[in-house]
Amino acid sequence: MNAQTDLEQIIRQHGEELLRLAYTYVKNRQTAEDLVQDVFLKAFVKQTDFRGDSHYKTYLYRMVMNRCKDYLRSWHYRKTILMEPFQGASSGRPSSDLSEDNAVLGHQVLVLPIKYREVLVFYYYKELSMREIAELLNVPENTVKTRLQRGRKQLKLNLERGGYDARFFYQNEY
Amino acid sequence: MRDSSIKTSIEKAIGEQPWLTEEVLHQMIRPHYKPNKEKRSLSKVLIPSVVTFAIALFAFILWNTETQPVQPEVAAFNYEAISNAIEDPQVENAFITYLKSIENEDYASFEAVSTTDLVASPKEVFEKYQTIDLDTFRLISVTESQGEPVTFLVAAFAYKDASNEVLKTYTVDQGDGTQMTVSEDFYGEYPEYTPFTFPETVTLNYEEIPTVQEISFHPDLIEQQASVGEEGTVSIAAFQDGEFDVVFATDQKSYYLTRLSVPEVGSLDVQPFMVQDTGETAYMLQAEGYGLIGVLFMDERIHFVGTSPEVVSASQFDLDGDGTEEWLLDDEGVQVIRFEDGAFQSAILQSEIRRDPFPDSVFTYNLDVPRGDVFIETTLLEGEKRVKYHFNSTELLQKVQ
């Protein structure tokens, strides 16, 4: 098995979910692909001397998360995003259609501040436990819980401001 | 039980079709792929050369040791200065342990105190520090997070092959209270550090403007004022013209003129701070009993001063641990000043929103805008009409009637 096959195997195994995870941070598909490619190459190069205790998948999550945050902090991103048209959380018309509300809910998750968005994504989308999220983000478990609560609260508020159905929050408390 | 509708809704928002197509897969591999064959053939040439060179070098070192004692100058962290810069003994201990483990390439110690190994292997970290001139390494900022038991340390240093210095952020996290852990921004593009000295206090000196009311600045004028800067770096002057104008000069070539409404003769307190993300040095200007009157960026391009000369109403908003915003209403309109970790981040002046009528309700929330910018929604009464404004830290986005 040569290097290309090794790399291809790693990408096949983890690429799909890492691309989607990166997108939840940067919300641009091309950028997500570039960042994930960068992460794979770094992870691949140093896989022989990797000594961290965390599971390899968690390790990749962490790399993607940090790489995305580095990108979002960069001036390149800040300049780019400022030139894009603004879309407020309350844009669009209210809907009574539940499936449409569902799509709006996903969009609203992605426009939350990163600190809330990432815990919601890891908890609901990636289905990690609070403990796993705490280790991944390197914060206390209580912090994760607080961010989850605040994230849900913010999400609910944004939906209500936009006139959308926020019934999810009355029915499903974690 | 978890709400699966949120998972489904995120899937919908991202797109349900597979992303990792064969095309994407091959794009990810192709640009960087180097066949093993090449590496092997290169190794055949390189290895004998390296071995020969190493033998020759070893022989030279042995010979040199016999002829004259070798006294290598080993660069090391200045632990004393670093310790002095950190007040909290626990943070100090954790950070010093972290640095010592790197300097000694002590894997066990590094992994015990570090969480950097979650993004980079210890070996990778150690190798990176070998490229740094450790003699230049020093802490320039230690900030405790207000919301969480976390301390941010900003260090400046130069690489061995570069003369300019860069800034790097370290995070010391108290975690669950049992052990401090240290991590660093390993893959960041570190901003360049350009130190700039500014006096702690500058005195305003007034001078009547002889004829014209509009100030025209002449470089010679600065020489006539009491220069408070050292080495010609900064001078400040003020002129009495109903208001007082202040001239700043960063050097002998660049001058900045701004009008600050300072109420009376006195002095300005100048508090330097580092702008997060950029590492840029800026200054908050305050007069006694007057609050913030200006913020000064001293780089070549940006010069921004926000003023709040006659604050009629002030409100402060906590942005859920992300920082605070102070809203000041005066004759000029509404000024929004944003702080993170106690340091100034940005300010805007919305002249469209006048002080009268006062807002009957104001609230803010942070949407997905770049760090440092805040999406703000405010409802104001214009006569009997309620008008909603949306704006961020740089501009009014829309006025919702």
Q: A154 to chain B: which residues are within 8 Å by CB?
A: 320, 365
Tell me the chain A residues in contact with residue B320 when contact means C-beta distances shorter than 8 Å: 113, 150, 154
Of B5, B120, B148, the CB nearest to A143: B148
Rounded (10°) CA dihedral A125, A131, A132, A133: 60
**Within this chain, do residues A119 and A96 fall inside the same structural domain, yes or no?**
yes
Q: Which of B4, B109, B187 to mutate to test the interface with A (most CBs of A within 10 A)?
A: B187
The beta-carbon neighbor of B12 closest among A12, A102, A141 is A102
Average pLDDT, chain A: 71
Chain B residues touching residue A63 (CB < 8 angstroms): 119
**pLDDT value at B63 more than 90:** no
Based on the fold, state whether residues A96 and A155 are members of the same structural domain.
Answer: yes
Smallest CA–CA distance, residue A106 to chain B, in Å, is 4
Where is pLDDT greater, at A125 or B205? A125
Is the pLDDT score of A157 beyond 50? yes
Q: Which amino acid is at A166?
A: A
- Cα–Cα separations (whole angstroms), residue B308 to B265, B302, B332, B335, B378: 17, 20, 8, 8, 19
CATH number at residue A44: 1.10.1740.10
- State residue B218's pLDDT score: 31
Q: What is the enclosing helix (H) or strand (E) of A35?
A: helix A29-45
Residue B327 has pLDDT above 70, yes or no: no
Nearest to residue A90, comparing CAs of A167, A161, A169, A168?
A161
Confidence of residue B185 (pLDDT cuts 50, 70, 90): confident
Average of pLDDT values for B378-400? 57
Q: How far is B166 from chain A (nearest CA, A)?
A: 15
**What is the per-residue pLDDT for B19?**
81
Where on the phi/psi map is residue B14: left (φ > 0), alpha (ψ -120 to 50), or beta?
alpha
Q: Distance between terminal CA atoms of chain A?
A: 45
Whether B400 and B378 have beta carbons less than 8 Å apart is answered as: no
Same domain, A27 and A78: yes
Shortest distance between the Cα of A118 and any Cα of chain B, in A, equals: 12
Confidence (pLDDT) at B192 = 75
CB-based contacts of B379: which residues, under 8 Å, 6+ apart? B359, B360, B361, B362, B386, B387, B388, B389
pLDDT value at position A85?
27
Flag whether B154 is in a domain: yes
Mean pLDDT calculated for residue range B20-42: 58
Work out the percent of chain B whose per-residue pLDDT is above 90: 5
Q: Which of B1, B4, B6 to mutate to test the interface with A (most CBs of A within 10 A)?
A: B6
Task: State the total domains in chain A.
Answer: 2
Span A71-92, average pLDDT: 39
Residue B188 domain-assigned (yes or no): yes
What is residue B147's predicted lDDT score, i.e. its pLDDT? Answer: 60
A96 or A116: whose pLDDT is higher? Answer: A116
> Are B227 and B235 in contact, with CB atoms under 8 Å apart?
yes
- Residue B35, chain A, CB below 8 Å: the answer is yes
Shortest distance, CA B240 to any CA of chain A (angstroms): 40
pLDDT in the model for residue A66? 83
Residues of A in contact with B6 (CB under 8 A): 105-106, 109, 120, 124-125, 168
Q: Between residues A5 and B224, which one has the greater pLDDT?
A: A5
User: Is residue B172 one of the residues assigned to a domain?
Assistant: yes
Is the Cβ of B394 closer than 8 Å to some Cβ of chain A?
A: yes
Range of the domain at A114: 89-171
User: What percentage of chain A has pLDDT greater than the value 70?
Assistant: 65
Residue ranges of B 184-213 with Cβ closer than 8 A to chain A: 185-189
Q: Which residues does residue B385 pair with via DSSP β-bridges, in sequence order? A: B382
User: Which pLDDT value is given to residue B292?
Assistant: 54
**Boundary (domain end) residue, out of A82, A109, A127:** A82
Name the residue of chain B whose CA is nearest to A72's CA.
Answer: B370
User: Mean pLDDT, to the nearest integer, of B118-141?
Assistant: 84
Distance from CA of A67 to the nearest CA of B (A): 7
Q: Give the least confident one: A10-24, B280-294, B362-376.
A: B362-376
Look at A84-93, A148-157, B92-101 and tell me which has the smallest mean pLDDT: A84-93
pLDDT at A7: 78
Show residues of chain A in contact with B184, CB under 8 Å. Answer: none
Which residues is B337 bridged to in the sheet? B326, B347
Do A95 and A167 fall within a single domain? Answer: yes
Position A97 scores a pLDDT of: 47
Answer whether A106 sits within 8 Å of B397, measured CB to CB. Answer: no
* One domain for residues A44 and A116: no
Shortest Cα–Cα distance, A124 to chain B (Å): 5
Please tell me the total count of domains within chain B.
2
pLDDT at residue B150 is higher than 70:
yes
Residue B164, number of CB atoms within 10 A of its CB: 9
Confidence at residue A142, expressed as pLDDT on a 0 to 100 scale: 79
Would you state the pLDDT for residue A19?
Answer: 92
| pLDDT at residue A12 in the model | 87
What are B262's two structure tokens? 């300072």
Residue B43 scores a pLDDT above 50: no
Tell me the DSSP string of B25-77.
HHHHHGGG---HHHHHHHHHHHHHHHHHHHHHHHHHHHHHHHHS---------
Residue finishing a domain among A36, A62, A82: A82
Residues of B in contact with A67 (CB under 8 A): 187
| Residue B95's pLDDT band (cuts 50, 70, 90) | very high
Average pLDDT, integer, range B77-88: 87
B287 DSSP β-pair partners: B268, B291
pLDDT on residue B386: 60
Considering chain B, what is the average pLDDT of its residues? Answer: 60
**Please, what is the Cα angle at B185 between B194 and B121, to 5 degrees?**
135
Residues contacting residue B159 through CB under 8 Å, at least 6 positions apart: B131, B132, B133, B166
pLDDT in the model for residue B169: 82
Domain co-membership, A66 together with A9: yes
Task: Give CA–CA dist A142/B179, Å, rounded.
Answer: 16
Q: Which of A30, A61, A82 is the last residue of a domain?
A: A82
Indicate the residue among B193, B224, B243 that finishes a domain: B193
A149 or A2, which is more confident = A149
Tell me what pLDDT residue B280 has.
57
What is the count of residue pairs from A and B with beta carbons less than 8 Å apart? 190
For residue B85, what are the domain limits? 79-193
Q: Which residue of chain A comes nearest to B120, CA vs CA?
A: A50
Q: Work out the pLDDT band at A111, boundaries 50, 70, 90.
A: confident
In a domain, B262, yes or no: no
Domain-embedded: residue B92: yes
Model confidence at A123: pLDDT above 80: yes
Kindly give, in sequence order, each residue whose CB lies less than 8 Å from that of residue A30, ignoring residues fewer than 6 positions away. Answer: none
Rounded to a whole number of angstroms, the distance from the CA of A30 to the nearest CA of chain B is: 10
B87: domain CATH number is: 3.10.450
Last residue within a domain, chosen from B193, B217, B245: B193
pLDDT at A13 over 70: yes
Q: How confident is the model at residue B37 (pLDDT cuts 50, 70, 90)?
A: very low
> What is the predicted pLDDT for the residue at B101?
93
Instruction: Look at strands B201-203 and B267-274 and give their pairing.
Output: antiparallel
- Asked whether residue A122 carries a pLDDT value surpassing 70, the answer given is yes
Q: Is B217 inside a domain boundary? A: no
Contacting B residues, span 270-329, partner chain A, CB-CB under 8 Å:
277-278, 320-322
B98 falls in which pLDDT band (50, 70, 90)?
very high
DSSP per residue, B301-333: S-------TT-SEEEEEE-TTS-EEEEEEETTE
Above 90 in pLDDT, residue B35?
no
What stretch of H or E contains B222?
helix B219-224
Reply yes or no on whether the pLDDT at A89 is more than 50: no
- Mean pLDDT to the nearest integer, B263-274: 54
The DSSP result for B93-125, as a single string, is: HHHHHHHHHHHTT-HHHHHHHBSGGGTS-HHHH
Q: How far apart are CA A64 and CA A126, in angstroms?
A: 14
Residue B161: what pLDDT?
85
Banded model confidence at residue B32, pLDDT cuts 50, 70, 90: very low
Q: Label residue A114 by pLDDT band (50, 70, 90).
A: confident
CA distance B397 to B376: 10
